[in-house]
Structure 1
Amino acid sequence: MEDIKMDKMSQAIWIAQSLFNRNKVSGSGAHLSFKEGDKIYITGNNECFGTITEESFSIVDLSGTHIGGIKPSKELQLHIIFYKKSSDIESVIHTNSFYSTLWSCRNHDNKFDCLPEYTPYLKMKLGTVGVVPYAPPASNELFENFAANIDSSDGFLLANHGPIVSGTNLMDAFAKIEELEESCRLAYEITINSQKS
């Protein structure tokens, strides 16, 4: 692995292992990336967050061309689309966390802001959360759907798939994916409890 700011790599590994150890991800369905100059470091295809190391990362250029390391995640294009949205974006995280994925399976009247504002924290940390229409994972249709919706919301739920957020740095993206999962859990619990009463 060529020389990069090790604090970023260390943060990326810590974030991945933290998410795995707290059951926010499972198997090899999650991926994260961060920018370093004109390069993007992204977890490789089928890498497990629980066993992630420096060697678990692929290096691509800003257009997504593979330039080093292992094969990148097959959903690299989701990250590239996010990075093209704004030069302020320095990190992207996608998981299949339980409550966010559960909420992504529901029908939502508001496709551009699908979560009720029960607490102020989601809006404060992330903003609006849009729902991207379903397409098979890693398919061109999914990438097209995501690109068509990228300017409509701040974070996203890929329908029947899971959440994806960006941040101005790794820890910002981590805080957002955590807040999104908690907001989905709260929304689901309130919805279920209200239906019982």
Structure 2
Amino acid sequence: MEDLILQEKLDSAVWAAHSLFERGKTAGSSANMSFRHNDLVYISASGSCFGTMRREDFTAIRMDGTSVSDKKPSKEWPLHLALYGKSADIGAVIHTHSTYSVLWSFVPAQSEQDCIPDHTPYLKMKLGTVGLVPYEKPGSEALFSAFRERVSDSDGYLLKNHGPVVPGKTIMDAFYCLEELEESARIAWELYRAGLV
């Protein structure tokens, strides 16, 4: 039964990865995702591409970051572990470099604890608040430290000049929240460009 549950989680992760890639929500090998299963975190391997993602492209790490697989995990695994450490309810995390979220991260935030306006109600309904994390070099300890400092302040996150990091109870929950964040960022950006807000 345990094997079956793990395979179902892997299948959901692969589907979500392909869907995001095919619709231009990520490109190349820039995105990463993970889910929790028992005492391990299964995370996309370093250099893996959402467009060609397979079950075999996930590697397992412990909650202290030590690897239990032969494949190297995404270099941004500390972002994922910071979220799993935040709440036992978090069962999955997705991070992309989606266009509108990145564009919106350049706009000065009125609130760094909730940086995306609620022009529609759906982001708050699905995810909640979106905190803005100051820019630090991707994969750097400075980024991980900045993220850990903000992790308790919001429900989802936007890394400045970089992209969203979204948790969920499951991969599909994180996927739906990420979709809503990106759509809300698109609406906010278009209204901002038009000078309507």
Q: TM-score, normalised by structure 2?
A: 0.96
Cα deviation for residue 130 of structure 1 reads 0.7
Over residues 112-149 of structure 1, what are the superposed CA-to-partner deviations in whole Å (9 max), with x where a residue is unaligned? 11111111100000000010011000000000000000
Contact 1:157-1:164 within 8 A present in 2 as well: yes
Matching of residues 34-113 of structure 1 within 5 Å? 34-113=35-114
The alignment yields a C-alpha RMSD, in angstroms, of: 1.4
Contact 1:57-1:69 within 8 A present in 2 as well: no
Cα deviation for residue 68 of structure 1 reads 1.1
**Percentage identity across aligned positions?**
50
Q: One-letter code of the match for 1:43?
A: S
SS at match of 1:141: helix
**Which 5+ residue runs of structure 2 have no aligned equivalent?**
none
Q: One-letter code of the match for 2:146?
A: N
Distance 1:18 1:69 in 2: 27
Q: How many residues of Structure 1 are paired with residues of Structure 2 in the alignment?
A: 195
Cα deviation for residue 69 of structure 1 reads 4.0
In structure 1, the partner of 2:139 is 138
Q: One-letter code of the match for 1:169?
A: T
Matching of residues 139-154 of structure 1 within 5 Å? 139-154=140-155
**Which 5+ residue runs of structure 1 have no aligned equivalent?**
none
> In the alignment, is residue 192 of structure 1 matched against residue 193 of structure 2?
yes
In structure 2, the partner of 1:161 is 162
Q: One-letter code of the match for 1:142?
A: L
In structure 2, the partner of 1:114 is 115
Cα deviation for residue 55 of structure 1 reads 1.4
Cα deviation for residue 109 of structure 1 reads 2.4
